[in-house]
Structure 1
Amino acid sequence: MRRGILAVDEGSTGTRAAVVGEDGRSGPSFYTSIDVSHPEPAQVEQDAMQLLDRTLDVARQAVAWAAENGVEIAGMSICTQRATAVLWDRETGRPLAPAVVWQDSRYAAELAQLAPEWDRHLWQATGRPVGTRAPFLWAARQLERLDVPAERVLFGSVDTWLVWHLSGRERFTISATNAVAFGGYRLREHAWDQEWLAALGFPAELAPPPQDDDGDYGYTDPELLGIRVPIAAVMGDQHASLIALGALSPGQGTCVHGTGTFVGALAGDEPPEAVGGLDGVLCLVAWRSRGHSRFSLEAYTSTTGSALRWLTEDLGLFTSAAEVSALAATQPSGEATWFVPTLAGLRTPVLRPEARGVLAGLSLATTREVLARAVIDGIAHAVSDTVDALRTTMDRPMTHLRVGGGLAASDALLQSQADFTGLTIERVADSATASLRGAAYLAGTRLGLWPSLADAVAHRPPDRIFEPGLAETDRLKLRARWQDVLAVSLS
């Protein structure tokens, strides 16, 4: 590795940094966790200052590694959790309130009242409905109670917050792939929907200007990182994974297991006409480069990795996610014990933000192994629901999924996914860094490390293929039984 991209991946529960070299691989990954708080059942918050400090810490470790190993850092890339909103003071640079995380649904009931009037307009213009969260509504409510002059208030997503600091407070903007997740971003115009922002009571002049994902984000502040290089690409994490996992042609699908699990597929140069037909299937900007947007479809299950964290760290039922996977591997899939991981609401196949998780079918004969299998299969079934919804919305077949993210390390989970979807599942090597590498590939293509994204992705090494192991009749029977359990849990 002679040259590389300093790549930062700021996720919902942790932040990591590494240097991605010209061979497409990442160097050592430096990681630290980020605290998440739940003041009320529907509220999810983070400390934006902690988020910044810990991101700087891992980035500095990656810079030090590059210096020790003679690697020239040509530029920086940033990918972030999406739709997490931050308000801060322009003068002090400090947050004015806890950051509200994308899983937060405190305004779901109020937004539901707006849906009949606004859903049709928003589906057509922005590729998504009113939904269960609205960062602009949260910001409008915060602005009502803040004792700070409006000219000192800055607002944006996590990428807005990080870029503003990393660029020495020179760049105030939001990448297209983060803007589309905020809601209110007009897909074809690359601009905010002024009417929707007004309906939420948010002053449009405070909205961060949208920019191409490989646009001008300034240069890193040497006082923060010790280097001055261009911030060459900024993306939402799931969009970066589309690139890293090789979904560069329409119809290719990806699945990224993190705090939640996101299933996406590249749709092409125009938004598909069928968007809006199924709950939870959204049309997004896959990435925007040189003034041109490519579009994607996406659906997600909000509590997969976070469900395992809850079971292990909060309840202490297992020591780790790896233990859950190992215990599950000792048991076959069954129909007696079920885990429905709707711990933060349900989006697909039906929108139910008030849905809660269920553990059913327990008896005195239930063992930890059986419980672990139920947890793994419950996550796989929930993810399969999003895959099915995406396939219905697409105008072309999906033949297989490339899978990445932390939970993709579980063989038991990926085999269940293959069994329940009937699709070939390909786990990509170094899949835990897919988001980090995808943003780095976009930055490196802009800076000339690779001629194209296809050249960058060509170095992606294979890992393991999981083929469906169930007969089609058995698969359909098991999936139908899951739908019955899901329906009972919702009632």
Structure 2
Amino acid sequence: MTRPTDVILAIDEGTSGTRAALVGADGHVSCLEYTTLTVDSPRPGVVEQDANVLLDKTLAVCRATLANADREGRRVVALAIATQRATAVLWDTATGRALVPAMVWQDTRYAAELERLAAAWDAKLRPSVGRPAGVRSPYLWAARHLRETPAVADAWRARRLAFGTIDSWLLWHLSSERAVVTTPTNATSCSAYVLAEHRYRLDWLDALGFPAELLPTLRQDADDFGRTRPDVLGIDVPILACAGDQLAGAVGLGCLDAGQSMCLHGTGSFVDLIVGPTLPPAMGRSDSTLTMTARRHGGQSHFSVETFVATTGSALNWICDKLHWFDDARQISALAAGVSSSGGVTFIPALTGLRVPRMEPAARAALNGISMATTQAEIAYAILDGIAHSVSSCIEANRDMAGVAVSSLLVGGGLSGSDALLQMQADLTGLPILRMKETDRASLRGIAFLAGSSGLLWDDLQQARSTTAADAVFEPAIGADQREARRALWHARIASELGHVDAVAQSHALAAQ
């Protein structure tokens, strides 16, 4: 009789969909099941999800994956969970059901209130939690519901109320412990986690009106979260890891060491640089580059810095679907690969504003340098070149804050399939660009690595990483002088756009006098 293969059941619960799959000792991701999730925006600034539906769909994909495991002779030995970050839930511990729609991380309904608090608090928050007050707060959201929503207030008075992010919500339902807990890679994004001390900033929470008694207990990203409930999933195995999806993705791509940088291309392009166990020396000096807990295990935190370009994949969708300039992103890449330059055309993919070199929501996308001689292929090249330049600026901003030299860039996500884009990226950064295999499954693989690297499937994370492999490597093909000239032109275009924003603001100010 063939011995069953040991595997880890991995969950990747994102914003637009939830997935479950099996990860084996070879690092391969199999038996993947996926279903979509709905995000609602009933009014400007409000972004919500039904946490009860999210839970039900997550359980459904897990059960489907487990059925596949049975058919294929796989033995599940642990559960690992990666989740979207900073999406908050309030639930009744008697019924196990969410009392109000979850506040999604994209929500900005309290931006004005947080801006008023920022004057007194930003200088305190930046050096401790690695970010300013920001534009959304799960804690402020919960505090408002405690005052304004009768069902929430009643559950609180009856000591039946629980609060947490999606990791807390899923762990409470899946674990036999029934404890309300959270992990550093999730807590960091909620803007009240003291990075160096693995604790909450209670004075900030008090200023937001949030009761400390409602806080989830802080654990590690790789930890013992109890065992799964057989009545929920039909299995009884340990839950050994829970982390934010972006940081789990970094682990799954093999991005573990100081100096390694990662870019995941999706709707936007998120760029992380691993710093190591020491906090970056310039932490908090920029509102656009945030310090993250990359992972915490074995009693030690490892940190990274992160910035992003909000509209890259979505910019290509906009160009193709709304402007109809190209059939799809593949055509853009194919046309760009057929020319050697943009012919002087530049594209700034700032459809919702800029983050680098400064936070400027009023900045807008721009296409410059067009003449009667401009071709469609040159515009295609400029579009990808603009994304590559934007990512390069993110890498530079991360490097400046971290004080760590960047050794390589590992890439994943949809746009990483474009050879033309990745060659531009190598040329503009002067770095080797590694496109990893199965990049679209990096979060699933990474959370399994965290769960299984204490002897279950691997001896440590380094051994787990050895199962990853590059699909392709792109080396710089231009010299330093040409690189500097291209970057200088980009910086000049960005300065021009920021100058335009400042001129418009000054004009409005004068008109208001």
Residue 227 of structure 2, aligned match among 201, 219, 232: 219
Select which of 62, 66, 77 maps to 1:63. Answer: 66
Are 2:27 and 1:20 aligned? no
1:456 maps to 2:458: no
- Alignment-derived partner of residue 47 in structure 1: 50
Q: Distance in 1 between matches of 2:83 and 2:239?
A: 14
Given that 2:289 and 2:397 are in contact with CA atoms closer than 8 Å, whether structure 1 keeps it comes out as yes
My pick for the range that moved more, 275-284 or 33-42, is: 33-42
Match of 2:265 among 257, 265, 285: 257
For the pair 1:165 / 2:168, whether they are aligned, the reply is no
SS at 1:88 equivalent: strand
Q: 1:357 to 1:15 in 2, by over 3 A?
A: farther
- Aligned pairs (5 A) from 1:409-488: 409-446=417-454, 448-488=456-496
Instruction: Write out per-residue CA displacement over residues 218-244 of structure 1, whole angstroms, 9 at most, x where no aligned residue.
Output: 222333322222211001112212222
Counterpart CA distance in 2 for 1:197 and 1:437 is 34
**145-154 vs 480-489, greater mean Cα deviation:** 480-489
Residue 234 (1) aligns with residue 242 (2) = yes
Q: CA deviation at 1:440?
A: 0.3
Deviation by residue 1:234-283 (Cα, 9 ceiling, x = unmatched): 01112212222223222222222233322222222221222123342222
Compared CA separation, residues 473 and 363, structure 1 to 2 (3 A): same
Match of 1:248 in 2: 256
- State TM-score, norm by structure 2: 0.87
1:74 Cα offset (Å) = 0.5
| Equivalent of 2:107 in 73, 80, 104 | 104
d(CA) in 2 for partners of 1:24, 1:82: 24
Q: What SS does the corresponding residue of 2:453 show, helix, strand or coil?
A: helix
Which TM-score applies when normalising by structure 1?
A: 0.91
Q: Per the alignment, do residues 51 and 416 of structure 1 end up closer, same or farther by CA in structure 2, a change over 3 Å counting?
A: farther
Please say if residues 259 and 408 of structure 2, whose CA atoms lie closer than 8 Å, have aligned partners that are also in contact.
no
Paired position in structure 2 for 1:299: 307
Asked if structure 2 preserves the Cα contact closer than 8 Å seen for 1:345 and 1:353, the reply is yes
Contact 1:19 1:28 in 2 (8 A): yes
The answer as to whether partners of 1:243 and 1:438 remain within 8 angstroms in 2 is: yes
Q: Rate the CA distance shift 1:204–1:434 in 2: closer, same or farther, 3 A.
A: same
Which amino acid is 1:298 matched to? E
Q: Is the 8 A contact 1:335 1:478 kept in 2?
A: no
1:204 equivalent to 2:212? Answer: yes
3-state secondary structure, aligned to 1:288: strand
For the 8 Å contact 1:49–1:95, the answer to whether it is kept is yes
Q: Tell me which residue corresponds to 2:193.
A: 185
Q: How does 1:5-404 map to 2 (within 5 A)?
A: 5-148=8-151, 149=154, 150=156, 151-167=159-175, 170-311=178-319, 320-334=328-342, 336-359=344-367, 369-404=377-412
CA contact (8 A) 2:342 2:379 kept: no
Between the aligned partners of 2:434 and 2:81, the Cα distance in structure 1 is 26
Secondary structure (helix, strand or coil) at the match of 1:29 reads strand
For the 8 Å contact 2:275–2:404, the answer to whether it is kept is no
Letter in 2 for 1:4: V
Report the number of matched residues.
491
Change (3 A) 1:56 1:374: farther
Paired with 1:103 and 1:340, the residues of 2 have a C-alpha distance of 23
Q: Per the alignment, do residues 324 and 62 of structure 1 end up closer, same or farther by CA in structure 2, a change over 3 Å counting?
A: farther
Deviation at 1:193, TM superposition (A): 0.6
Alignment RMSD (CA, Å): 2.7
State the shift of 1:286 in Å: 1.5
Shift of 1:459: 1.3
Q: In structure 2, the residue corresponding to 1:55 is in which secondary structure?
A: helix
Q: Distance in 1 between matches of 2:448 and 2:181?
A: 19
List gaps (5 residues or longer) in structure 1: none
Q: What secondary structure is seen at the aligned counterpart in 2 of 1:140?
A: helix
Q: Is the 8 A contact 1:328 1:370 kept in 2?
A: yes
What residue identity is the alignment partner of 2:194? R
Q: Which runs of 5+ in 2 are unaligned?
A: 502-513
Q: Which has the larger radius of gyration?
A: 2
AA of the residue aligned to 1:325: S
Q: Counterparts of 1:353 and 1:92 in 2: how far apart (Å)?
A: 42
1, 5, 8: which one aligns with 1:2: 5
Relative to structure 1, is the Cα distance of residues 153 and 463 closer, same or farther in structure 2, using a 3 angstrom cutoff? same
Deviations 1:364-387 (A, max 9, x none): 887765554443333222222110
